[in-house]
Structure 1
Amino acid sequence: MKVFKFGGASVNSVDRIKQVAHIVDQHKDSPLVIIISAMGKTTNALEKVAEAFYAGAQQQALDLFNVIKNQHLTTAKYLLVTHFNECLSQLTDLFTEVEWLLHDKPVRNFDYYYDQVVCIGELLSTSIISHYLQEAGIANEWLDVRDLIRTDNHFRNANIDWAITTEKILQATEDAGAPVITQGFIGSTDENESTTLGREGSDYTAAVFANILDAESLTIWKDVEGVMNADPKQFPDAQLLQSISFTEVIEMAYYGAQVIHPKTIKPLQNKGIPLYVKCFLDPSLAGTVISNKHAKNLPPIIVLKENQALMHLHSQDFSFVGEQPMSNLYKIFAQLNITPNLLQTGAVSLQLCLDDHSDKIEQLAAAAGATFDVSVEKGLTLLTIRHYKAGQAAEMTAGKTPLLIQQTQETVQVLFR
């Protein structure tokens, strides 16, 4: 059994969907589960629908949703001939699921409505692609993942009930004689209310399936060659990392690299299932393999995070920044769901480097103000280099003003303006 996951960029056009079909066709005779995201920017568009609905702008929400409907219908018309009517029937049922909600008025919190609306993106994309594969002669079984992944009711960041989910996935796939097509990112409560799994939920869904099915491997298909040692948009000479360990990927993600989210890694690492990151535009490329195996002689791995803020906290009475003030501060972090990117303590002061989300910064400053004098500096950049070479950080920040520097044997970080 193998698990494939195709992201939104892989299915954002007719030509790319045809390429997905080409890849699947090469593997259709072996057990395969395929997780597919919403097409392109559909999730962003659906978020705007949910926001308009919750703000009481019902007609605006319906108009925005109508645009999404037409986009998917147009894609289906370009792709399908013999299977169009069958696909249209399924799409219409899915459209109605959202429109029924949009004709109502919000009486619950926003996160609930967000999940009921946004979840439809994955269902629409997989419906169209499943019918296209059938028309192309690739038999498959379409499954609504909401019937398989059971979660709690923590909307927008739901937690999976592994016992029930395991039972349902095994039952649904044990007799599958053809590739299974299903959705990432979504699940449902025991009351059949749709939920979403939070950041990078589609990759996580794929890892959950791989874990439960004891898959041979998980392959995430992207529009890049594989995992790079730096963002190619920022560093044109970025190198492909042919193999890296699960630990290295978690470290990269922790420091802000846009790679694989740590929650995706855990279900794979627990069972030693390798993760391949491959380019769907050219499947012949080797890509990157991520596994328990430790990779040696890695090049410097560079992460550049812009839009950083530095918060200076100074004790109001010059008392030491000891255990109690730090304990209180970490409670505030938890309450506001804040994770500092860098933290440096002194005797009577400490400094925090944070992503510059103004609302979070203001709330943190207000809460910390009970204990500390607070000042904030914005417009900063955080450079992180793992496996750095001597003098590399100084060379990369030449002409800049360093504000914080932290260094270990493996990693150096410099916050600068």
Structure 2
Amino acid sequence: MKVYKFGGASLGSVDRIKQVGSILRQEQQTMVVVISAMGKTTNALEKVADAFYNGNQQDALNLFNLIKESHITTAKYLLVKTYNKTLDELESLFTEVEWLLHDKPVKEYDYYYDQVVCIGELLSSVIVNAYLQETGLNAQWLDVRDIIRTDDHFRDAQVDFEFTRDRLTPLLINASPTFYVTQGFIGSTDENESTTLGREGSDYSAAIFANLLGADNLTIWKDVEGVMNADPNKFTDAVLLPELSYAEVIEMSYYGAQVIHPKTIKPLQNKGIPLLVKSFINPALPGTVISKKNVKGLPPVKVIKENQVLLHLTSLDYSFVGEAPMIFLYNLFAELGLKPNLIQTGAIGVQVCMDDKPGKLDQVAVSASGVFDVQIEKGLSLYTVRHYANGGVNGVLEGRQVLLLQQTVDTVQYVYR
């Protein structure tokens, strides 16, 4: 058993969907195929959710209509024999969102976000499944919301692995090789409310399937040749990393590298399942293999996170920042769903670098003002270099003002403007 995951960039056009079929036709065994939303559909659906929640109902409907038209057009150019059946299936999914958009929001934003945004993966997987069937492959569509059970922590739902395992196993019963086409990124509560597993969570979904099925491996297909040591759009000297350890990838993801969703590795590591990152454009390339093997001599791994803020928190009475204030801060961040990217403590102050989330940062400032004097600097960047002894620090910081530096034996981080 193998698990394949195709990201949005692999599904952004009719030709690319045909390439998915070409890759799958090389396989002669039962597989689970995890599909993301097409192209920039998730971004477009986020705008729908924002408009709806802000009371702009007609704008939300107009934006959603553009998404509908785009998917219908894709199906029209891709399908012949299965087009009418597929259109009926798409219309049924469209209705799921439209009935909600005709209502008024009475719950929290994150709930509506999940109900709207989850539709992207459902639409794309219906079209891909229809195309595979039309080209003669034995494909079967599965609604992942009937399989992956989660709690109701919308936008970052936690998976009930035991329930999910019990639901998954009986579904994969076809005797002949079958491509089970399903969705990444989403699940469902015990009240059948759609949830999402965190932005870019399709990788994690694929890892869940690989873990529960004891897959031989998981392959994530991307529009790059594999995992690079840096973003090639920002660093002209970026190179391919042929092999990586589970631990290294977790560290890279933690520091912000757009490699693999941070939750993806644990389900694979628990069962020693290798993760392959392959080129969707050129499947013949070797790509990157991620496994338990300890890989030494890596080049510097460089990550830039932009749109950062630096919180300067100073105790109001100049008392030492001890256990109680830090527990208060960590509890506050957890309550608001904020994840610091860097924390540095001093005698009477704490500095915290994190992603700029305006609404939530305002709540931090208000809540923390009873314990700290709170100052916030915005418009900053965070530059992280792992294995910096091998280079990588020079260049980025030229002409920049460094506001905070944190360094360990293997990793150095700079907050700068």
Query: Which residue in the other structure is 1:78 paired with?
Result: 77
1:354-369 equivalences in 2 (<5 Å): 354-369=354-369
Query: Which residue in the other structure is 2:174 paired with?
Result: 175
Comparing 230-239 with 381-390, greater Cα deviation is found at 381-390
Tell me, what secondary structure is at the counterpart of 1:190? coil
1:56-67 equivalences in 2 (<5 Å): 56-67=55-66
Comparing 229-238 with 60-69, greater Cα deviation is found at 60-69
Query: Which residue in the other structure is 1:287 paired with?
Result: 287
CA RMSD across the alignment? 1.9
Query: Which residue in the other structure is 2:385 paired with?
Result: 385
Comparing 393-402 with 366-375, greater Cα deviation is found at 393-402
1:119–1:194: 8 Å Cα contact kept in structure 2? yes
Comparing 158-167 with 293-302, greater Cα deviation is found at 158-167
One-letter amino acid of the counterpart of residue 92, structure 2:
D
Deviation at 1:221, TM superposition (A): 0.5
Query: Which residue in the other structure is 1:124 paired with?
Result: 123
1:84-233 equivalences in 2 (<5 Å): 84-175=83-174, 177=176, 178-233=178-233
Comparing 96-105 with 39-48, greater Cα deviation is found at 96-105
Q: Any stretches of 5+ residues in structure 2 without a counterpart?
A: none
Query: Which residue in the other structure is 1:414 paired with?
Result: 414
Matched, 1:351 2:359: no
TM-score by length of 1: 0.94
Cα separation, 2, equivalents of 1:342 and 1:136:
50
Tell me, what secondary structure is at the counterpart of 1:129? helix
Distance 1:56 1:320, change over 3 A: closer
One-letter amino acid of the counterpart of residue 157, structure 1:
D
Post-superposition CA distance 1:161-189 (Å, at most 9, x none): 21121011111013363111111111222
Cα separation, 2, equivalents of 1:26 and 1:265:
26
1:46–1:117: 8 Å Cα contact kept in structure 2? yes
Distance 1:101 1:321, change over 3 A: closer
Comparing 364-373 with 103-112, greater Cα deviation is found at 103-112
Q: Any stretches of 5+ residues in structure 1 without a counterpart?
A: none
Cα separation, 2, equivalents of 1:203 and 1:356:
24
2:302–2:392: 8 Å Cα contact kept in structure 1? no
Deviation at 1:392, TM superposition (A): 5.0
Query: Which residue in the other structure is 1:259 paired with?
Result: 259
One-letter amino acid of the counterpart of residue 170, structure 1:
T
Post-superposition CA distance 1:242-263 (Å, at most 9, x none): 1101100111111111111221
Cα separation, 2, equivalents of 1:222 and 1:50:
27
Deviation at 1:12, TM superposition (A): 0.9
Cα separation, 2, equivalents of 1:387 and 1:319:
37
Sequence identity percentage: 64
Aligned residues: 416
Tell me, what secondary structure is at the counterpart of 1:206? helix
One-letter amino acid of the counterpart of residue 288, structure 2:
T
One-letter amino acid of the counterpart of residue 199, structure 1:
R
Comparing 101-110 with 332-341, greater Cα deviation is found at 101-110
2:300–2:392: 8 Å Cα contact kept in structure 1? no
Deviation at 1:148, TM superposition (A): 1.2
1:141–1:176: 8 Å Cα contact kept in structure 2? no
1:146–1:188: 8 Å Cα contact kept in structure 2? yes
TM-score by length of 2: 0.94
